[in-house]
């Protein structure tokens, strides 16, 4: 609502200010101008002092809040740059003698940093109560708790708590308004809800400014985005309840005051905004997504409802659009940056090699394999080369399969090591299980193409956005760290490039005594064929222990096994591929250590206990339950006290892929 509209609203009812007789108007940012001097009764003047004073202090608090956020980000960014510069500076480490077996000496500062990190993991790495917060760490919940406590203090501070009984103009004696601190408090909590809106959008951005400053991947902010939205909803409900009580009970005469209140345009917009917030909450529930809408419906509706909500919020109180317009700008910049990054990957010269080609947009053409599995869902592997700068190990791309639809994209982690060849092309390899939705449609499309026998192979057009995420290989390739990788199913794509890169880098560095091991749980023994070339390379390098657990038996049903084996003969290396146990290599048979789900806690604990020297990084990717078990296991292996004493094996770090956790 514009300032002039606010004047009319305040004149007509609650504040009884006579703007037409005003000798001076005192401006207030985010509120209506105030008439100076106050010419109504003493009680109403005191109430106006409380209303305007509370609002001004609330706006000051929101300025302090955003200054605090920006200050923390600035300090974080500077400290990160300084730390990275210190870490990359050349040094001359002192190597311990073979007799000491205590590892290289480290500086007191480094030991202090490692001690604090180990203590923090032991305390804050395990999952918080899953029934309340989902699959997230105690650290995330701690940050949420600090934010909530801070906002709670700002909600109640600086408000005059008092009750005023004031007469109603043109009403008989005894008809009075009861003015309380509920009005300023309801305004304050509404202001905070508006101020949190751009923060919520900032936390949800894929092209994240927060990630650019802090180095933390955007996926780590999604938990706070979700719960910031919940805070906004609760604040909006309390704001609405407060003013309903005031207008329907405390102000007189009734029902005339209430009837005029609910017919006001700005109030109608307020109810619309609250209704949209409730819809946003309902459609974001995991139960709703799993059982009613599906993820793609949620994602698209979430965008639409959020933007309409901001418009309705501006209609409700236009004077506070200083908080809402930046939210729209952040959202628009995020969408524009995605398009720019996609164009940078796919727009180039297409045509003859003599340079006479045309500049145009071109999708990558991926060779495709598919392993049929009627019980658990078919698995698809995509392989293609693309001219681009290599990404960092641990990053992922959003892939759009344009042969199916251009309106959906899904995040996938490349299982290939990002290395450019002499032509500047980088090899991409992806694996995904087609359980439902778009991935199931893609699997069906590939099956139909293979059924047509298109020269024994099939291709799929792929449009990429990215890369996103963080580099996770730091501290591994040099050989001074023990590495344990734990993966479930297609989660192998996250950990495999780490091991391949580290094993290649460690070639020729003998006598270090550091361990590398991978534990992979698959449904069937045939699933090893998904990454057969990569597993064979790991065995050739000979620096990684491979342990495979089959959780659901080794053989396909007879009819399906026959179908996939015959499909393999017909489709060669890029057709429908399957492998019976009888055709498995002896090396493959030796890789399978057991059946059933491996005990994650026992695996991690045993690995750490067997370490002779150095710290450990555990890489994990798989179902949320497995990631939660990894967090608990790694946390229990950390001991800040023993790290301070120089026992590095109790410095255990977890790096996990949490993009799909909910």
Please write the tens of the pLDDT for every residue from 343-355: 888 887 555 554 5
13-27, 52-66, 437-451 — which is least confidently predicted? 13-27
Give the pLDDT confidence score for residue 184 in this predicted structure: 95
Distance of alpha carbon 632 from alpha carbon 139, whole angstroms:
13
Token match 């004073």: residue? 53
For a pLDDT cut of 90, what percent of the chain falls above it?
50
For a pLDDT cut of 70, what percent of the chain falls above it?
83
Distance of alpha carbon 438 from alpha carbon 488, whole angstroms:
22
Question: What tokens appear for 423 in the block?
Answer: 């032509």
Distance of alpha carbon 521 from alpha carbon 491, whole angstroms:
9
Give the pLDDT confidence score for residue 579 in this predicted structure: 32
Distance of alpha carbon 568 from alpha carbon 559, whole angstroms:
14
Whether the pLDDT of residue 6 is over 60: the answer is no
Whether the pLDDT of residue 72 is over 90: the answer is yes
Give the pLDDT confidence score for residue 479 in this predicted structure: 59
Distance of alpha carbon 471 from alpha carbon 211, whole angstroms:
12
Question: What tokens appear for 96 in the block?
Answer: 């311990």
Find the mean pLDDT for residues 98-122.
74
Find the mean pLDDT for residues 611-628.
89
DSSP-based three-state secondary structure for 37: coil
Distance of alpha carbon 435 from alpha carbon 558, whole angstroms:
22
CB atoms inside a 10 Å sphere around CB 111: 17
Find the mean pLDDT for residues 195-209.
94
Residue in 226, 203, 222, 223 with CA at minimum distance from that of residue 213: 203
Find the mean pLDDT for residues 15-43.
80
Find the mean pLDDT for residues 85-104.
48
Mean pLDDT is highest, among 29-43, 91-105, 332-346, 570-584, for 332-346
Whether the pLDDT of residue 578 is over 70: the answer is no
- CA-atom Rg of the chain in angstroms: 31
Contacts of 264 (CB under 8 A, 6+ apart): 9
Mean pLDDT of the chain: 83
Contacts of 377 (CB under 8 A, 6+ apart): 433, 434, 435, 436, 440
Distance of alpha carbon 40 from alpha carbon 177, whole angstroms:
13
Contacts of 64 (CB under 8 A, 6+ apart): none
The string of DSSP letters for 500-537 reads HHHHHHTTT--S----EEEEEEESSGGGGGGGHHHHHH
Find the mean pLDDT for residues 389-406.
91
Is there a contact between 401 and 461 (Cβ–Cβ < 8 Å)? yes
Q: How many residues does this entry show for the chain? A: 662
Is there a contact between 91 and 229 (Cβ–Cβ < 8 Å)? no
Is there a contact between 121 and 653 (Cβ–Cβ < 8 Å)? yes
Backbone dihedral angles phi then psi of residue 147, each to the nearest 5 degrees = -60, -45
Residue in 293, 312, 315 with CA at minimum distance from that of residue 302: 293
Give the pLDDT confidence score for residue 401 in this predicted structure: 92
Is there a contact between 349 and 468 (Cβ–Cβ < 8 Å)? no
Find the mean pLDDT for residues 284-303.
89
* Ramachandran area for residue 147 (φ above 0: left; ψ -120 to 50: alpha; else beta): alpha
250-264, 396-410, 548-562 — which is least confidently predicted? 548-562
* pTM: predicted TM-score of the whole model, two decimal places: 0.86
pLDDT tens digits for range 512-532? 558 889 999 998 888 898 999
Residue in 619, 487, 617, 634 with CA at minimum distance from that of residue 548: 487
Whether the pLDDT of residue 455 is over 50: the answer is no
Distance of alpha carbon 112 from alpha carbon 302, whole angstroms:
44
Find the mean pLDDT for residues 116-133.
92
Distance of alpha carbon 69 from alpha carbon 140, whole angstroms:
16
DSSP at 16: -
Distance of alpha carbon 180 from alpha carbon 268, whole angstroms:
24
What does DSSP say about strands 652-656 and 615-621: parallel, antiparallel, or unpaired?
parallel
Whether the pLDDT of residue 147 is over 70: the answer is yes
Residue in 221, 201, 191 with CA at minimum distance from that of residue 325: 201
Whether the pLDDT of residue 569 is over 50: the answer is no
CB atoms inside a 10 Å sphere around CB 201: 23
pLDDT tens digits for range 484-512? 999 999 999 999 999 999 888 877 665 45
pLDDT tens digits for range 620-633? 998 888 899 999 99
Query: In whole angstroms, how far apart are CA 207 and each of 328, 341, 466, 469?
Result: 14, 10, 9, 10
Of residues 96 and 133, more confidence is placed in 133
Find the mean pLDDT for residues 563-571.
35
């Amino acid at each position: 609502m514009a300032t002039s509209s606010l004047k009319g609203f305040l004149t007509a009812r609650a504040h009884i200010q006579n703007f037409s007789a005003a000798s001076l108007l005192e401006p207030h940012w985010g509120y209506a101008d105030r008439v100076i001097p106050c010419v109504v009764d003493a009680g109403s003047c005191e109430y106006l002092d409380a209303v305007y004073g509370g609002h001004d202090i609330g706006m000051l608090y929101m300025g302090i809040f955003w200054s605090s956020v920006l200050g923390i980000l600035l300090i974080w960014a500077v400290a990160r740059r300084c730390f990275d510069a210190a870490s990359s500076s050349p040094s001359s480490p002192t190597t311990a003698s073979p007799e000491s077996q205590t590892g290289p000496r480290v500086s007191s500062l480094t030991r202090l940093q490692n001690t604090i990190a180990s203590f923090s993991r032991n305390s804050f790495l395990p999952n918080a109560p899953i029934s309340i917060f989902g699959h997230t760490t105690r650290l995330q919940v701690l940050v949420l708790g600090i934010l909530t406590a801070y906002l709670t203090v700002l909600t109640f501070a600086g408000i005059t708590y008092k009750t005023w009984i004031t007469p109603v103009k043109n009403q008989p004696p005894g008809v009075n308004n009861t003015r309380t601190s509920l009005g300023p408090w309801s305004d304050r909590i509404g202001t905070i809800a508006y101020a949190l809106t751009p923060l919520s959008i900032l936390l949800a951005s894929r092209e994240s400014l927060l990630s650019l400053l802090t180095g933390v991947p955007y996926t780590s902010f999604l938990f706070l985005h979700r719960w910031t939205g919940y805070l906004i909803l609760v604040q909006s409900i309390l704001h609405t309840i407060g003013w309903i009580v005031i207008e329907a009970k405390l102000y007189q005469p009734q029902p005339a005051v209430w009837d005029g209140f609910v017919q006001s345009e700005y109030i109608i917009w307020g109810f619309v905004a609250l209704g949209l917030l409730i819809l946003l909450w309902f459609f974001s529930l995991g139960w709703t997504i799993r059982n009613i809408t599906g993820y793609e419906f949620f994602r698209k509706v979430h965008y639409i409802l959020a933007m309409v909500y901001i418009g309705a919020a501006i209609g409700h109180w236009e004077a506070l659009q200083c908080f809402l317009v930046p939210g729209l700008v952040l959202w628009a910049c995020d969408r524009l940056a995605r398009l720019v990054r996609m164009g940078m990957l796919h727009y180039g010269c297409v045509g003859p090699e003599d340079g006479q080609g045309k500049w145009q947009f071109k999708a990558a053409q991926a060779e495709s394999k598919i392993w049929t599995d009627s019980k658990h869902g078919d698995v698809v592997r995509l392989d293609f080369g693309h001219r681009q700068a290599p990404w960092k190990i641990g990053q992922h791309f959003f892939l759009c399969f344009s042969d199916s639809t251009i309106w959906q994209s899904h995040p996938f982690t490349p299982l290939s090591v990002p290395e450019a060849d002499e032509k500047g092309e980088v090899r991409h390899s992806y694996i995904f299980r087609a359980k439902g939705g778009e991935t199931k449609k893609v699997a069906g499309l590939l099956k139909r193409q293979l059924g047509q026998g298109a020269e024994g192979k099939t291709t799929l057009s792929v449009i990429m956005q990215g890369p996103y995420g963080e580099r996770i290989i730091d501290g591994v390739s040099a050989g001074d760290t023990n590495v344990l990788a734990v993966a479930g199913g297609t989660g192998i794509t996250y950990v495999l490039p780490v091991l391949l890169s580290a094993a290649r880098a460690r070639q020729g560095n003998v006598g270090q005594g550091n361990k590398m091991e991978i534990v992979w749980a698959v449904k069937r023994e045939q699933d090893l064929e998904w990454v057969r070339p990569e597993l064979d390379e790991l065995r050739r390098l000979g620096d990684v222990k491979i342990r495979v657990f089959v959780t659901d038996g080794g053989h396909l049903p007879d009819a399906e096994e026959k179908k996939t084996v015959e499909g393999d003969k017909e489709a060669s290396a890029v057709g429908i591929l399957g492998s019976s146990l009888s055709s498995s290599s002896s090396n493959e048979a030796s890789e399978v250590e057991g059946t059933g789900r491996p005990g994650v806690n026992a695996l991690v604990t045993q690995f750490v206990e067997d370490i002779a020297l150095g710290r450990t990084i555990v890489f994990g990717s798989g179902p949320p339950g497995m990631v939660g078990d990894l967090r608990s296991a790694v946390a229990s292996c950390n001991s800040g006290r023993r790290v301070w004493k120089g026992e590095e094996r109790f410095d255990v770090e977890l790096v996990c892929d949490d993009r799909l956790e909910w």
